[in-house]
Amino acid sequence: MNDTGRTARGMNTAALVALALLVIPIAAFSLFVGWNKAFAPLSVLAQHSAWTIHLPVVVGRAIGLLELVAATTLLVALVVPRFSRAGMYAAIWITLNNIVAAIVHIIFAEWHTLPQSAVVITLCTIMVLLFARRHRARGGAIQGR
């Protein structure tokens, strides 16, 4: 650690721990639900109120695969600081995915799923901010200049 209180990863230890505490469970959850959306029988998805059951099968499967990619990206970005920007975008995608899921659940009156969506959206928003902070701390521009 240098005299500014930052680790070699570009952010202070507390922020890095917070990022890890968000990434690990959100990535694990996204790997689980992404795998199911991509590969589980539709009856299982319906039983567990997967929002993608309301979409054409190929679209629902693609969303599951994209969730797997996003979750993997989060984990890589956690351990490889130069991928912080990719982690930020993966967290944004998971956030937007859960916002769309909440909207679909509202449309189909699946109210019991909304607390889960609210928690994931909130935690992912914090994760986006932490990845953005880490990226900036490493000298990166967020706006793609």
- pLDDT tens digits, one per residue of 53-79: 999 999 999 999 999 999 999 999 999
Q: 128 in a domain, yes or no?
A: yes
Handedness of CA 71, 64, 94, 84 (dihedral sign): positive
Predicted pLDDT of residue 80: 95
pLDDT (0 to 100) of residue 5: 52
Domain ranges, residue 32: 13-137
User: Rounded mean pLDDT of 69-96?
Assistant: 97
CB 123 within 8 A of CB 91: no
The number of distinct structural domains making up the chain is 1
pTM, to two decimals: 0.86
Specify the amino acid at residue 47: Q
Residue 6: inside a domain, yes or no? Answer: no
Q: Is residue 114 part of a domain?
A: yes
Residue 105 domain flag:
yes
Q: Per-residue confidence at 11, pLDDT binned at 50, 70, 90?
A: confident
Task: Check residue 1 and give its pLDDT.
Answer: 45
Average pLDDT (11-16) is: 89
Contact 78, 23 (CB under 8 A): yes
Q: Is the pLDDT of residue 29 over 60?
A: yes
Q: Rounded to 5 degrees, what angle do the CA atoms 52, 55, 57 make? A: 85
Work out the average pLDDT over 36-53: 96
Q: Measured between alpha carbons, how far is 81 from 31 in angstroms, rounded to an integer?
A: 21
Indicate the residue type of 13: T
Asked if residue 108 belongs to a domain, the reply is: yes
